[in-house]
Amino acid sequence: MSIAHFSFPTAIHFGPGARKLAGAHLRDQGLRRPLIVTDRALAALPVLAEFMTHLRTGLEVGVYSGVYGNPTASQAMDGAAAYRTHRADCVIGFGGGAALDVAKVVALMAVHDGHVLEYAWDHPQVRPITSQLPYLVALPTTSGTGSEVGRSSVVSEDDTHLKRIVFSPRLLARVVFADPELTLALPAAVTAATGMDALTHNVESYLSPAYHPLCDGIALEGARIAARALAAAVREPADLQARSDMMMASMMGAIAFQKDLGAVHSCAHALGAVCDLHHGLANALMIEPVMRFNQEAVPAKFAELAHAVGAGGGEAFVPWLARLKQEIGIAPKLSAVGVKHEQIGRLVEVAEKDICHQTNPRPCRREDFVRFFEQAL
């Protein structure tokens, strides 16, 4: 496989070995002091040390590895402090969705005053993003959120764990180095959960009633690619073609969801806030009940999804999802990952307040969210 170069709108270098281009690119931009923003677990693994061997010539590299779990506002603020301490002139986001989301707001807070949550779109006195952010490049090490091509960052409040969204085109990475070799060491469970996140992004984007035929085409193709590759990536972790396909499906889902998402994500955000559940796993566990609810509203779209994933047509999509989840080892129920019935009230409360379900193809009321969580439990 060779490295492909394209823009949509971010400049993307895609293919095995793309990570090796990052150092020369930064030097060509006249940059010399990058700060790598990554997560605590990844920082201890050989994959980061190997990546840094491609940066050493002519660069003074700092590392901030304070990201863990669902990213929080304090992690972003600590990362911005690390940027200033290192006297950095650019940011390298290296990791999964959490690390990449934090990298974006580290760049934001490196040149803006106040607290990161004051820049969230729903803050009562939201601050404007007025300054050009430091040069940011992104290298994803999972195939799930597609945060490397997104223009938003999701960070949680430290005390309530509620997710807040900072959104601006200024948050877009200048260049993405999408190297599927960085995902080869992912455990099967992480590959499965992040892969379901990518698939959910494509599916919910396609089902959103917003008008955006460009995103519809991307989402359908992203779902088709994920459908052919996800089980293979879980089953054969060294399958570079499957890993490449999943990385592409992940980016396509993130590009498509500028059209917006749906109730699966509202439920997943609630599970992240209340139960600290991995976002991809939360999407995987909630997608079936929400899709059963949505199917009667847009049956033609569900038939098209079934066709795209190779399930046939008609009402075959939801049964196909169930088979896929079983094949890749997703937990059968919320109860299997520690969610308890007495948490449903709080889960429903958070999901109702989440913005994503406003673009669900079928309006959701409180009793619908209760049913979603009860069916998934």
Helix (H) or strand (E) holding 158: none
Cβ pair 301, 210 in contact under 8 A: no
CA–CA separation, 71 and 74 (whole Å): 9
Q: How far out from the chain centre does Cα 95 lie?
A: 11
**31-40, 135-144, 255-264: lowest mean pLDDT where?**
255-264
pLDDT band at residue 69, thresholds of 50, 70 and 90?
A: confident
Instruction: Measure the N-to-C terminal CA separation of the chain; round to a whole number of Å.
Output: 43
Residue 29 burial by Cβ neighbours in a 10 Å radius (0-12, 13-18, 19+): middle
CA–CA separation, 225 and 38 (whole Å): 28
pLDDT band at residue 163, thresholds of 50, 70 and 90?
A: confident
**How large is the average pLDDT for residues 278-287?**
97
Q: Report the percentage of the chain scoring pLDDT > 70.
A: 100
pLDDT band at residue 1, thresholds of 50, 70 and 90?
A: low
CA–CA separation, 68 and 139 (whole Å): 17
Write down the pLDDT at residue 4: 86
Q: pLDDT tens digit string along 71-106?
A: 999 999 999 999 999 999 999 999 999 999 999 999
Half-sphere exposure of 58 toward its Cβ, with a 13 Å CA cutoff?
Answer: 11
H runs (alpha helix) in 208-259: 213-235, 240-256
pLDDT at 138 over 70: yes
pLDDT at 376 over 70: yes
AA letter at 167: F
pLDDT band at residue 304, thresholds of 50, 70 and 90?
A: very high
CA–CA separation, 268 and 369 (whole Å): 11
Q: pLDDT tens digit string along 203-217?
A: 999 999 999 999 999
The residues near 130 (Cβ < 8 Å, ≥ 6 apart) are 112
Same CATH topology for 4-183 and 188-376: the answer is: no
Half-sphere exposure of 252 toward its Cβ, with a 13 Å CA cutoff?
Answer: 25
**How large is the average pLDDT for residues 133-157?**
95
**How large is the average pLDDT for residues 17-33?**
97
Cβ pair 156, 18 in contact under 8 A: no
pLDDT at 280 over 90: yes
For the entire predicted model, the pTM comes to 0.94
AA letter at 285: L
CA–CA separation, 103 and 89 (whole Å): 13
Write down the pLDDT at residue 37: 98
Q: What is the SS3 assignment for 68?
A: coil
Half-sphere exposure of 221 toward its Cβ, with a 13 Å CA cutoff?
Answer: 13
* Assigned fold of 4-183: Rossmann fold (3.40.50)
AA letter at 140: P
Write down the pLDDT at residue 161: 86
Half-sphere exposure of 115 toward its Cβ, with a 13 Å CA cutoff?
Answer: 12
Write down the pLDDT at residue 255: 94
CA–CA separation, 31 and 20 (whole Å): 16
Cβ pair 32, 6 in contact under 8 A: no
Q: In Å, what is the CA distance from 109 to each residue of 282, 351, 366?
A: 29, 28, 37
More confident residue, 234 or 56: 234
The domain segmentation of the chain, as residue ranges, is 4-183, 188-376
pLDDT at 6 over 80: no
Write down the pLDDT at residue 210: 93
What angle (nearest 5°) sits at the alpha carbon of residue 181, between those of residues 178 and 186?
105
Q: Report the percentage of the chain scoring pLDDT > 90.
A: 92
Helix (H) or strand (E) holding 7: strand 4-7
Question: DSSP code of 72?
Answer: B
AA letter at 210: A
pLDDT at 124 over 80: yes
Write down the pLDDT at residue 8: 80
User: Which CATH class name applies to 188-376?
Assistant: mainly alpha
